[in-house]
Amino acid sequence: MTKKKIKKKKYQLRLPCDSENLDLIREFVGKIAASMGFEEEEVHKIELAVDEASTNVIKHAYKGVNLNNKSLLIEVFTYPDRLEINVTDRGKGFDPGKIKDPDIKHYLKKMKRGGLGLYLIKSLMDQVTYNIKPGVKNQVKMIKYLS
């Protein structure tokens, strides 16, 4: 593979943890992805993955946490071959080791709601990694390559 000279650009958005901001988050990442040349279907996948990661933060990260500034940080890095998005909070975190791919049919049969977000993120993005330091910095990093 020939080595490309990487021009990195960074965009970031810090928002209060409120579900009313989800459309703003989708628009933010969707516009950047579209401007990089991602097809509409791929833009939708990226918007949905970031929505799911942000929803998890909004719903769970700060539950029972006493903190004045309950915020959510979205960082987007553009490269010639890929898009990287970090969703970061300072809440209580979670154990990524406990995340298992659900047997989705069995899961649906039990009619258990919720918890599908992480599975969707993995299905929609090319790479997903977690860096969890409860109370300090919890980060979901997602990567999508331009085809």
- What is the contact surface with another protein in residues (CB under 8 A)? 19-20, 22-23, 26, 41, 44, 47-48, 51-52, 55, 58-59, 104-105, 108-109, 111-114, 116-117, 119-120, 123-124
Tell me which DSSP letter residue 97 carries: G
Q: Which is nearer to another protein, 100 or 105 (CB)?
A: 105
Smallest distance, another protein to C-beta of residue 63, A: 14
Whose Cβ is closer to another protein: residue 31's or residue 44's? 44
* Structure-block tokens of residue 58: 């909004």
Q: Which residues touch 81 (CB under 8 Å, ≥6 apart)?
A: 4, 145, 146
- CA–CA separation, 13 and 74 (whole Å): 5
Quote the least distance from Cβ 143 to another protein, whole Å.
Answer: 19
Taking the CA atoms of 76, 17, 121 and 24 in sequence, report the sign of the dihedral they define: negative
Q: Residue 81 Cβ, how far from another protein at the closest point, in Å? A: 25
* Cβ–Cβ under 8 Å, residues 80 and 52: no
Comparison of 4 and 105: residue with beta carbon closer to another protein? 105
User: Least Å distance between CB 112 and another protein?
Assistant: 7
CB of 94 to another protein, least distance (A): 16
Residue 107 — φ and ψ, nearest 5°?
Answer: -60, -45
Comparing CB distances to another protein, the nearer of 45 and 141 is 45
Helix (H) / strand (E) containing 120: helix 117-124
Residue 16 or 80: the one with the smaller Cβ distance to another protein is 16
Which residue do the tokens 């898009």 mark? 83
